[in-house]
Amino acid sequence: MGQVFDLAIIGGGINGCGIARDAAGRGNSVFLCEMNDLASGTSSWSTKLIHGGLRYLEYFEFRLVREALIEREVLWQIAPHIIRPLRFVLPHHAGLRPAWRLRLGLLLYDYIGGRKLLPPTSSLDLSREKVGEPLIPGRFKRGFEYSDCFVDDARLVLLTARDAADRGAEIRTRSRAVSIRQADGLWQVTVEDTLSGARRSISARALVNAAGPWVESVLAEGSGVAPNSKVRLVQGSHIVVPKLYDHDRAYIFQNADGRIVFAIPYQDDFTLIGTTDRDYEGDPAKVKASAEEIGYLCDSVGAYLKKPVSPSDVMWTFSGVRPLYDDGASDAKAATREYVFELDVPKGGAPLLTIFGGKITTYRRLAEEALEKLAPYLHGDKAREGWTAKAPLPGGDFDVFGLGQLIGELRRSYPFLSEAHAARLAGAYGTRAPLLLGTATSMADLGQSFGATLTEREVRYLMANEWAVTAEDVVWRRSKLGLRLSVAEIAAIDGWMIAQRAAPTDGALRKAGGLP
């Protein structure tokens, strides 16, 4: 049996990586394994929002909404490169929720979370405002505008994992936990490299099951623990279409079935539309947007915008399975987004903490609460001290309103970058963008160009520092350049990366934490 860690974590989504970062920062030795790529499951298939969840007020989820509202500005301040404020337009639909109820909900939304930086709610005359122009003429006269935040969800996971690794955590991707069992008062975890088939075993004084949709499958791998709670799998699908309007606001549309759908400006030239809510059965890895869901989202937007949206307009779809705590709600849309912990401590054995539910906005608080529960069993020298609310994520050490200035500084230091290229790098890597660019004085210095401003230098950086192994990792999780690259261009990136992994520099990449 190999090294004994203070904490082992199964699952490389936002919850697992958030706990790894917090635990490592408290002085604990941490091991995290993920069977695929980081953020390859639920955490990269969200609606890309850091939000309180306005609609959860209807289900009296006041504690959850308040916690999430507080977290909006906390997360924005520690990651201003990948999180930005976003204004949402809520048109009043006369046949659905009354205007007084919407106004009351928005007043609560403004004040129960201690908002300080984000602008407050305002009322709109949609017949006069620019944001009313894309709407069907004459149908929507009154509306409201409120604040939440947009996030690059997959990069949030990756930067959280990067910070955990910088603080000493061992992050192992493409490493599936094939056996977990108690022995000699420790958890013994055997992981299998999904690329090579090689196996390795480690021991840990405590174990966290943060496997999301696979949380019950992990428990079945010999843990000897039968959970009291169950996970409810709820499918949420999204579509991306060419930009539907010119302004920078998002819309939140009410539907007659009680659900809401967002239309969000996305990657400069597109609009992101989502999400659906329906129960899911089957392998979470095989979930995909159905024709019915795509049609539903198109129809939902078409009931509000004068520019119709049809399935033929859809450029990309993505679908994820939310591993919600099963509270017995009859409808998927009403299922709680609260997180629930189950702590099992067998007599004479090591603790196992299993996580059910949660949402990306509250991941940092979830991590703090998880470590509070595990504190008696961990040996970190700062075991009871929370710290993550003030420490920026990698690249996020600048003012929340300073992204424009950062882009300008990048262009002055690297004048060969176009404005769009500099903005993309600053928005992904923040103050770490110069680490990627190094001493380059021309585009040629960045090596081979793969298209859409993606260069050899950037891909090497992602392999060495962000665990990228395949082209999919690069163009769909560490960036969204897959929207701009052809199938052939993506295949060329894959071929180049395969060659690099086989090259003599492979050892250096492994040492840097970039390969499994």
Distance CA 511, CA 516 (A): 10
CA distance 17 to 30: 11
Instruction: Write the pLDDT tens digit of every residue in 324-381.
Output: 888 777 676 666 678 899 999 988 889 999 999 888 999 999 999 999 999 999 976 6
Q: 240 and 145: one domain?
A: yes
Is the domain of 173 the same as that of 283?
Answer: no
Alpha-carbon distance values, 260 to 5, 119, 257, 420 (Å): 44, 22, 9, 32
Q: Is 370 found in the same domain as 352?
A: yes
395 inside domain: no
In CATH, what number is assigned to the domain containing residue 97? 3.30.9.10
Whether 388 maps to a domain, the answer reads: no
User: Domain residues for 92?
Assistant: 85-150+232-322
253 and 145 share one domain:
yes
Tell me: do 491 and 475 sit in the same domain.
yes
Q: pLDDT, tens digit, for every residue of 55-110?
A: 888 777 888 899 999 999 999 999 999 999 999 999 998 877 888 888 988 998 99
In angstroms, rounded to a whole number, what is the distance separating the alpha carbons of residues 113 and 331?
27
Residues of the chain with pLDDT > 90, as a percent, come to: 77
**Same-domain pairing of 110 and 31:** no
- Give dist(CA 106, CA 120) in Å, integer: 9
Residues 193 and 237 in one domain: no
* Residues in a beta bridge with 192: 176, 199
Q: Is residue 215 part of a domain?
A: yes
Q: Is residue 329 part of a domain?
A: no
pLDDT in tens, 419-471: 999 999 999 999 999 999 999 999 999 999 999 999 999 999 999 999 999 99
* Domain end (from 322, 348, 363): 322
* pLDDT value at residue 217: 86
| pTM beyond 0.75, yes or no | yes
